[in-house]
Amino acid sequence: MALHPLHGLVEQLETQPIIFIGGKGGVGKTTTAAALASYYASQQQKTLIVSTDPAHSLGDVLNVRLNNETTVISPYLDAIELNPDVIVDEHFAQVERTIKAYANPDMMPKIREHLRLSKSAPGAQEAAMLESMCHHLVEAADAGYEHIIFDTAPTGHTLRLLVLPEMMGAWTDGLLAQQRRQSKLRSVANHLDSHNQKNGAQKNDVANPFAAKKSDRWEQAVSVLEKRKQLFHQAGLLLHDRTQTAIVLVMTADVLPLAETKRAIEQLEDSKLMPAAIVINQLISTAQSDEFWRRRAERQQHLLQDIEQSFTKYPLYPIYLQQTDVRGTDALSALLSA
């Protein structure tokens, strides 16, 4: 399969509301994501670009200071750098507020200590980041965006985030099933208690004034879980809908990125998440007079044959090595306009 002209990439993705840009660290994911976002914004298509990579460089590429809040870059372009630490703090603060609504006040000090320790537990950042990403996914269209582009962390982290909605949905289902079983047992116990009282077994007992409140709190807890389940379900549907979501992998014509891209595609295909395209970044023109650059170009051409043979199912788009750093929306947009 020959390389496709680069303008074909923006045309292929133009109807995709959700675009994930992934790949090995250092291959140009952020530049590619920012170039797509800048190009669509230049065409007056309202676009949001979201960086989920803890080693943020999106703000550097756009020449703008970014944070965990939406920043307006231009009339048609907004950007966010999701801060895992901030998101984890907000996530656990919300968990604490939810628990506080139906927990015994005497238990709150121990609960707060448990939540504090849980912040650093394995997977805590991923779970919090996932929930934030799911909200952006589900709410993007309602916010008026034609495109939401995710500049993601290196491949392994991205793959976990892409498959987590299904895993988290199953985990939430388990919690809800447990809640329902306990609710049935509680209903039986209440029925027996009511029956005993009617038969005079507990004549001196006073009705429990907290029973109704406890039941209400229980329903609140179930409602929170149901909403979370629905969020993950909606996000999972969007991720697996190829008319809604496109996954673009970025690589360079080098041995290690080639090996990692092969593994990434295998894992994506196993999860029924098919890449839409592959971008090969930092290609060197073969018209070189300098011996060093000529050898580098020859080496890339040799690897390009392996790349074309390995990824016959996916369109391949080249981005050639630029003379200067590509920074700012004008330069980024021009990269895909050439």
The rounded average pLDDT for each run of 10 residues, N- to C-terminus, in the chain (338 residues) is: 88 95 90 97 97 86 94 97 88 84 84 87 79 87 92 67 64 65 62 58 46 60 75 85 94 95 90 92 92 94 95 96 93 89
Contacts of 68 (CB under 8 A, 6+ apart): 80, 81, 82, 83, 86, 87
Is residue 30 domain-resident? yes
Is residue 331 domain-resident? yes
What pLDDT is attached to residue 94? 84
Report the number of distinct structural domains present in the chain: 1
Question: What does the CA dihedral 271, 27, 82, 333 come to, rounded to 10 degrees?
Answer: -110
Calpha distance 18→128 (Å, rounded) = 20
Calpha distance 302→307 (Å, rounded) = 9
Structural domain harbouring 229: 7-197+210-337
Is residue 18 domain-resident? yes
Nearest CA to 25 out of 158, 157, 154 is that of 154
Is residue 202 domain-resident? no
Calpha distance 26→324 (Å, rounded) = 17
Read off the pTM: 0.82
Q: Which two three-digit tokens encode residue 206?
A: 């006073």
What pLDDT is attached to residue 169? 62
Is residue 203 domain-resident? no
CATH of the domain at 286: 3.40.50.300
What pLDDT is attached to residue 189? 60
What pLDDT is attached to residue 210? 43
What pLDDT is attached to residue 232? 80
Is residue 214 domain-resident? yes
Q: For helices 124-139 and 155-198, what crossing angle results, to 10°?
A: 90
Determine whether 283 is exposed, middle or buried from the number of CB atoms within 10 Å of its CB (0-12, 13-18, 19+).
Answer: middle
Is residue 123 domain-resident? yes
Is residue 1 domain-resident? no
